[in-house]
Structure 1
């Protein structure tokens, strides 16, 4: 084969590397004349045997992070860019000719990576893949709205036969915006043969797309958007800051900025129990969290109720009723609809929370619980945002600035 020496050096370097790394072109140059090597590489690219990565495309060219550029584009960049930032890789066609892929037959994802698929090639799975780990206390599943990780607890590794560690997974979606699990090839590669075979059983044939914020976060970049759950907590925090500026007690007893509740987030398993747990926490963060001291000296905190026997009983008023009267007395909006919706949402959440308290319900798995959660958190976020916008009209709050992302509404339901 023409240029076999150059091709052999590229293949050997790749096979001997720890992370499917490409050989720097500057290293190949040590064996021959620069123009000759460039011509050889150009021919190998056109023959479909070699592909190049560039630091101008992805900062680290030593791994193949993303799909290959078109051959002519690779050759153009090879001839015009610094060779120190270019690495060469054998293609799948080349590796098959060298018969080097057989050792990965029992590891489907490692084999795909070895044969040249990008390290950040997304693989999509049905959500039920997580059932095994969520239902087994020997595993810890970390969930951060649109990303997470899974690992087995050290004390159970011997019992399990092997440890398990998945550094990161994310949420992906189909065209109906139903949630799926996404894992990049480089992280599936870390699983054992048996673990890779198990995960492969749950691959979906659905046409899915990845969450771009998850990709950015995985690559070490700041995401453009903030989770609606984080935004909700930020609204509570800002509202209490505004109360402080006005000279009143905090409207909310707690802002949860440092101790976000466990069930306040996207639940990975769409079950009735998870939905009920979410509603319970949401109501505790809203109606149950309203501080009655905020209303002192402004409105009555109690009401007199006439009993059937004719006697008058003094009762504590509910927090929703107090907030509704205070806002009605102090705020005259041009459009009353947002404030009406605010109290409608507070009562809706309270009613949803009371449902499981009055009936024994059997747990079940149904994707509609994701839809129900989505609708409820969107309505609830709008409710607390409305409270913040109402307080923003107070003269003593005029100079207070909320975070830029909150002001611009860079908020997303993942």
Structure 2
């Protein structure tokens, strides 16, 4: 076999495989030392790359950009070739792949041309809007996210096949002093239908070199366990801990739902920085907080109603809101001389009231239909306050008689939380 024949075989294998895989060395009936001699000129001229599986555990996919020619030659001299796979390079594939074979599939074309599967692109957040607003899709967006089709709609005639898409994972990306974006690995983009690849292509960020994947998303994607959780997950974790503490101290749960297994669809990062979007998020947050509180927790230890006399001398009874009930219960049950603790409790109640007030978009200072990049950061500020509020309530309940011995997960106890 000649070097040219070896390159042709690796190219044919790559282009014919379903997932653009490399040609396994063990499938070649060639002595390893002879193979090294055939590979050297192909590496030197930049037409072939040897993937040993030392940078990513699976050598059958090209995860990352090839290393420099010098480094490849150094490895060729000493590395064990038996588990390696051979890949034609972008430079070579551009001379043999016909882009028309992948018309309408820009991200599949990138793989066909030899670009790595774990290369990524950044997109404007608004690309998520049609998925989030369509109940046929299940959708979640935190530091990492997922999009798919609910089983009851999958492969039904009422949903076009082109729209039956799955985006197994996408993540949050950041740009200094700008705004959020999302990042998607090429391998997942390539699995979209041609129509949806075009939708995503139209939303690619022009200044992609300004963005970076969120550190936690990158860790997860590389198979590492993140050292922190997101604000959203920390918030949900604190609600779960509050209810667990309620059970331990012999009270009904403070929150009707923990949302552990039914996370609200809109409980995540904004996808458009508008006052309406922020108000909608505040509404979801309020439903998870004040609307979600159970009066049963308070066991009638503070009044649930107010009585007043109207102008005609009639008694008018009004129901107190849960925030006011909680505030008075805290004042009744928790007496502290520590100014910092009092301030934390006051801030928690203040935050709950602020979240409720923000449910009305007309109350927002910018206006109902305003578009302002700064609202991304305002949402995070609001979410930080909500997280600290439930954290404070949990810490308060840990001081209640009977709570001794309750163990809070380490990441919550140590506040190992990404606050953006």
Cα RMSD of the aligned pairs, angstroms, is 3.3
Paired position in structure 1 for 2:278: 275
Any idea what SS the aligned residue of 1:147 has?
strand
Paired position in structure 1 for 2:140: 143
Q: Does 1:209 align with 2:212?
A: yes
TM-score (ref. length: structure 2): 0.84
Aligned counterpart in structure 1 of residue 259 of structure 2, from 246, 256, 266: 256
Any idea what SS the aligned residue of 2:205 has?
coil
Q: Does 1:47 align with 2:45?
A: yes
> What's the offset of the Cα at 1:217?
4.2
> What's the offset of the Cα at 1:258?
3.2
Deviations 1:186-229 (A, max 9, x none): 22223455543443232211221113433454566544433322
In 1, Cα distance between the equivalents of 2:404 and 2:325? 25
In 2, Cα distance between the equivalents of 1:334 and 1:187? 52
In 1, Cα distance between the equivalents of 2:133 and 2:328? 45
Paired position in structure 1 for 2:18: 18
What 5-or-longer segments of structure 2 have no aligned partner? none
Any idea what SS the aligned residue of 1:396 has?
coil
Q: Sort the Cα spacing of 1:258 and 1:196 in 2 relative to 1 into closer, same or farther, 3 A.
A: closer
Tell me, yes or no, if the aligned pair for 2:275 and 2:361 is still in contact at 8 Å. no
Tell me, yes or no, if the aligned pair for 2:138 and 2:149 is still in contact at 8 Å. yes
In 1, Cα distance between the equivalents of 2:67 and 2:196? 32
Any idea what SS the aligned residue of 2:328 has?
helix
Paired position in structure 1 for 2:344: 338
Any idea what SS the aligned residue of 2:128 has?
helix
What 5-or-longer segments of structure 1 have no aligned partner? none
Paired position in structure 1 for 2:357: 351
Q: Sort the Cα spacing of 1:221 and 1:323 in 2 relative to 1 into closer, same or farther, 3 A.
A: same
- 1:145-294 equivalences in 2 (<5 Å): 145=142, 146-150=144-148, 162-168=162-168, 169-176=170-177, 178-206=179-207, 207-218=210-221, 222-294=225-297
* Residue-pair matches, total: 408
Tell me, yes or no, if the aligned pair for 2:174 and 2:180 is still in contact at 8 Å. yes
In 1, Cα distance between the equivalents of 2:132 and 2:248? 44
> What's the offset of the Cα at 1:41?
1.9
Deviations 1:120-164 (A, max 9, x none): 111112223334555667x62522423122559557778858445
Aligned counterpart in structure 2 of residue 396 of structure 1, from 399, 402, 408: 402
In 2, Cα distance between the equivalents of 1:163 and 1:260? 24
> What's the offset of the Cα at 1:374?
1.8
Deviates more, 1:85-94 or 1:158-167: 158-167
In 2, Cα distance between the equivalents of 1:165 and 1:60? 25
Aligned counterpart in structure 1 of residue 82 of structure 2, from 79, 84, 87: 84
> What's the offset of the Cα at 1:280?
2.0
Aligned counterpart in structure 2 of residue 128 of structure 1, from 121, 126, 129: 126
In 2, Cα distance between the equivalents of 1:364 and 1:140? 28
Q: Sort the Cα spacing of 1:80 and 1:394 in 2 relative to 1 into closer, same or farther, 3 A.
A: farther
In 1, Cα distance between the equivalents of 2:300 and 2:127? 55
> What's the offset of the Cα at 1:11?
2.1
Tell me, yes or no, if the aligned pair for 2:51 and 2:62 is still in contact at 8 Å. yes
Q: Sort the Cα spacing of 1:242 and 1:331 in 2 relative to 1 into closer, same or farther, 3 A.
A: farther
Any idea what SS the aligned residue of 1:324 has?
helix
In 2, Cα distance between the equivalents of 1:69 and 1:398? 56
Any idea what SS the aligned residue of 1:11 has?
helix
In 2, Cα distance between the equivalents of 1:386 and 1:182? 34
TM-score (ref. length: structure 1): 0.85
> What's the offset of the Cα at 1:384?
0.7
